[in-house]
Amino acid sequence: MAVQIAVCGPGECSPREERWARQVGRLLAERGAVVLCGGYGGVMAAAAAGARAAGGTVVGLLSGADRQGACPDLTVVVPTGLGQARNAVLVNSADAVIVVGGSWGTLSELAHAMRRGTPVVALGGWRVIDAAGGPVPGVRHAATPAEAVESAWPAA
Amino acid sequence: MAVQIAVCGPGECSPREERWARQVGRLLAERGAVVLCGGYGGVMAAAAAGARAAGGTVVGLLSGADRQGACPDLTVVVPTGLGQARNAVLVNSADAVIVVGGSWGTLSELAHAMRRGTPVVALGGWRVIDAAGGPVPGVRHAATPAEAVESAWPAA
Amino acid sequence: MAVQIAVCGPGECSPREERWARQVGRLLAERGAVVLCGGYGGVMAAAAAGARAAGGTVVGLLSGADRQGACPDLTVVVPTGLGQARNAVLVNSADAVIVVGGSWGTLSELAHAMRRGTPVVALGGWRVIDAAGGPVPGVRHAATPAEAVESAWPAA
Amino acid sequence: MAVQIAVCGPGECSPREERWARQVGRLLAERGAVVLCGGYGGVMAAAAAGARAAGGTVVGLLSGADRQGACPDLTVVVPTGLGQARNAVLVNSADAVIVVGGSWGTLSELAHAMRRGTPVVALGGWRVIDAAGGPVPGVRHAATPAEAVESAWPAA
C-alpha cells in the first residue's frame, strides 16, 4: 500500500504558504504518496492541486456531510459529516503530517498527530511553548517543501 | 470527480455473497467508479479485490484507528478510529450504496443511507417490514451484480 | 454509577408512540436510570419530558453542533456535531436501548445496538426479516411501556 | 438549561494541577454548572471529584467504546468510541473550556475550542506562539481556580 501523507493548513493562507503547499503536494505525488487533506481551500486546495498536477491520488476528508465547498483537485472525496472531529480522522489516516502555516484548526491536527505519535513536520506556522517558555519538543521544522517531504517520509 | 459507490456487507459471508461482491466491485471499477467499503473481510474484501483486479481505485474506511485487519486490495486506507460511527461516514461518502448480504452492521449502513436519501440497492440480505408486516419501501432490490450496478449508477 | 438507558424513535411520531415514549421515560426515571436520547422532537422529546417530570436526569445527544432544535427537557445536552454518526455514540452509552416506533434513523440505532450486543427492546416499530422471510432474532418485543422497561433493565 | 463547562487537562498531571482541577470542579458545581470532562484520570478525575463532592452533575465523554478506565465520580458516562475525535465532541458540548496543564490531547481540545469560538481559560499549561514568536491571542489566562471559573462563566 502506498505511503499516505496528510498536508494540513489554514483555509485562508498567504501566497507563500500556498506556494509551499502546492510544492509539497507535487513532491509527495512524484514520490508516490497518496496525499490526504481537509479538502477545502487555501493550503488544502493548493496541496491537492500540486499533487493532482503530478498525477497523484488526493483524498479530501471534508468536515461537511456533502461535497459543498470541496476543492476541485480531489481524486476521492470523503464528506465525513463529523465537523471538526474529522481532523482526528484525517490524522489517523496519515503516516506523517506536514503542516503549512498556522490556524486553530491546523493546530488541532498537529496536536492530534503528536498525541498519536504520528510524525509532524512544520513549514512555518505556530509553535507551542510550555509554561516555562521553552519549546515543547517533538514537531520537526523544515525550511523548504523538499526538506519537509524528506523529513516526513517514512524510513524504509 | 468520479462516481463513488459504497459496497456494504458482512465481514463473514457465503461463497455466493463473496462472488457477488467481487463482481460488483469489478463492474463498478470497469465503469469508472471509485469503490468505497469498510475495508475488512468478507464482502468488503471481495468488493475491493474485484475492483482492484479491474484497475480501479478502492478506499477502505476502517472502524479501527490503525490498519490492522485491513484487506489487501485497498488503494487508500482511512483508519477512522470511530468504531461503528464510521458506517455513517462511509455512507456520507457514497453516491449510492450496494448492499450484499445481511448483518447488523450492514443494516446500520443501509439505514443510514436511507435516512440520508442515498440510493440503496440490495443483493440478497435482510429486509425491513413495518408494524403491519408490509415492506418498508425505498430499498431497490437486484437479482444480479450487473443489475445492482445498473440500478445504483447515478443518472447522467 | 446509574443505569443508563437510551430511548430511540422518530422525530415525528404518532400520538400513541408519544404516549409510550413519555411513559417509558417516566418509568425509567422512577427506577433511577439516566435516560439518554437523541435530544430532538417526537419520541425523543416525549421520553425526555416523561423522565424530567419524574425528576430524572436526561441526556440529549444531538446530531447538530449546537443546541438548535433541542427539546426542552434535557438535563445535559451534548451537541456532538457528528451528524448521524451520533447514533453510534448514543448506543455506545447505553446499557440497553428501548425503541419506540420506526424510522430509518431509529433503525440505524437498533442495528448499531444489535451489532454491539446491547439489549434492544422494541415497542412497535419496524422489524427485520432475513432473505428467507423469517424474523432475524435478537430484538426483544414488548407490548407496554412497563414491559419494555422491565425487559430492558439490566440483571442485578 | 444549566451552564455546561468542560475541564480539560492531561491524564497524568502534577499535584498542583490536580489540586487546581479539583477546585475548579468544585467551584463550577457550587455555581450550578454541569461539569464535562474526558472521563479518565489526572485532571479529568480531579475535576470530576471536585464537582461530585459539591453535589454537581459530571459528564465524562470517554474516547473508548466502553466504561473501562472511567474515573469514579461521573454522574453520566458517554463512551463515545470515537478515539481522539471525542475531543471535538467534548468541546462542542461546552459553553466554555477551562484548561488545566498541558499535553497534546489537551492542546487539541484548546485548539478545537478556539476554532469554534468557544471561550477558553487556561490555568498554567502550554501556550501558542506565531511564526514571529509573538503570542497567538485569544486564550484567557487565569492565576487561580476562582479566577478561571469567573472568567469562563458566560455573561448573563
- Give C46-97 pLDDT, tens digit per residue: 999 999 999 999 999 999 999 999 999 999 999 999 999 999 999 999 999 9
- Residue in chain D lying closest to B63 (CA): D82
Min Cα–Cα distance to chain C from A4, Å: 25
pLDDT of amino acid C156: 75
C59 contacts on D by Cβ (under 8 Å): 59, 76, 78
Chain C residue set in contact with D, beta carbons under 8 Å: 1-2, 4, 34, 57, 59, 61, 65-67, 74-82, 88-89, 92-93
Q: Tell me the mean pLDDT in the region A56-82.
A: 98
Cell of C107: 433503525
| CA A36/CA D69 separation, integer angstroms | 33
pLDDT of amino acid B64: 98
- Residue in chain B lying closest to C103 (CA): B115
pLDDT of amino acid B156: 76
Chain B residue set in contact with A, beta carbons under 8 Å: 1-2, 4, 34, 57, 59, 61, 65-67, 74-82, 88-89, 92-93
- What contacts D34, CB < 8 A, 6 or more positions away? C75, C76, D2, D3, D4, D5, D56, D57, D58, D59
Determine contact, residues C120/C99, Cβ cutoff 8 Å. Answer: yes
Crossing angle of helices B15-30 and B145-152, in 10° steps, is: 50
pLDDT of amino acid D8: 98
| Residue given cell 474485484 in the structure block | B50
| CA A4/CA C22 separation, integer angstroms | 50
Nearest Cβ partner of A76 from B59, B66, B81?
B59
Q: Which of B58, B62, B78 would you mutate first to test chain A, the one with the most A CBs within 10 A? A: B78
pLDDT digits (tens, 9 = 90+) for C94-151: 999 999 999 999 999 999 999 999 999 999 999 999 999 999 999 999 999 999 999 9
Q: Tell me the mean pLDDT in the region B142-146.
A: 98
B129 contacts on C by Cβ (under 8 Å): 126-129
pLDDT of amino acid C92: 98
- Residue in chain D lying closest to C79 (CA): D93
pLDDT of amino acid D1: 80
A83 contacts on D by Cβ (under 8 Å): 88, 92
Q: Which of D89, D115, D130 would you mutate first to test chain A, the one with the most A CBs within 10 A? A: D115
Determine contact, residues B77/B48, Cβ cutoff 8 Å. Answer: no
* Beta-ladder partners of A7: A98
pLDDT of amino acid B61: 98
Nearest Cβ partner of B1 from A4, A65, A77?
A77
B38 contacts on C by Cβ (under 8 Å): none
Are residues C111 and B114, on separate chains, in Cβ contact within 8 Å? no
Q: Tell me the mean pLDDT in the region B113-132.
A: 96
Going by C-alpha positions, the residue among C117, C108, C121, C107 that lies closest to residue C24 is: C121
- Percent of chain A whose predicted confidence (pLDDT) is above 90: 98
pLDDT of amino acid C128: 97
pLDDT digits (tens, 9 = 90+) for A91-123: 999 999 999 999 999 999 999 999 999 999 999
pLDDT of amino acid A1: 80
H or E stretch at C29: helix C15-30
Are residues C126 and B131, on separate chains, in Cβ contact within 8 Å? yes
Are residues B93 and A75, on separate chains, in Cβ contact within 8 Å? no
| Confidence bin at A51 (pLDDT 50/70/90) | very high
Are residues A82 and C83, on separate chains, in Cβ contact within 8 Å? yes
N-terminal to C-terminal alpha carbon distance within chain C: 13
CATH of C4-152, one of 3.90.1150.10, 3.40.50.450, 3.40.50.300, 3.40.50.460: 3.40.50.450
pLDDT digits (tens, 9 = 90+) for B55-68: 999 999 999 999 99
- The residue with greater pLDDT, B78 or A131, is B78
Min Cα–Cα distance to chain A from B128, Å: 26
Chain A residue set in contact with C, beta carbons under 8 Å: 65, 81-85
Average model confidence (pLDDT) across chain D: 97
- Residue in chain B lying closest to A3 (CA): B76
A130 contacts on D by Cβ (under 8 Å): 102, 126-127
- Residue in chain A lying closest to B33 (CA): A76
| Confidence bin at C1 (pLDDT 50/70/90) | confident
Interface predicted TM-score (ipTM) over 0.85 = yes
Min Cα–Cα distance to chain B from A59, Å: 8
Q: Tell me the mean pLDDT in the region D43-54.
A: 98
Are residues A82 and B89, on separate chains, in Cβ contact within 8 Å? yes
pLDDT of amino acid C10: 98
Are residues C85 and A84, on separate chains, in Cβ contact within 8 Å? no
pLDDT of amino acid B84: 98
Are residues C81 and D66, on separate chains, in Cβ contact within 8 Å? no
Min Cα–Cα distance to chain B from C2, Å: 24
Cα C51 from chain centre:
12
Evaluate if residue D156 carries a pLDDT over 80: no
Residue C33 is given by DSSP the state P
- Residue in chain B lying closest to C123 (CA): B131
What are the structural domain ranges in chain A? 4-152
- What contacts B136, CB < 8 A, 6 or more positions away? B128, B129, B130, C102, C126
N-terminal to C-terminal alpha carbon distance within chain A: 13
Are residues C115 and B125, on separate chains, in Cβ contact within 8 Å? no
Cβ contacts from C onto D, under 8 A: 65
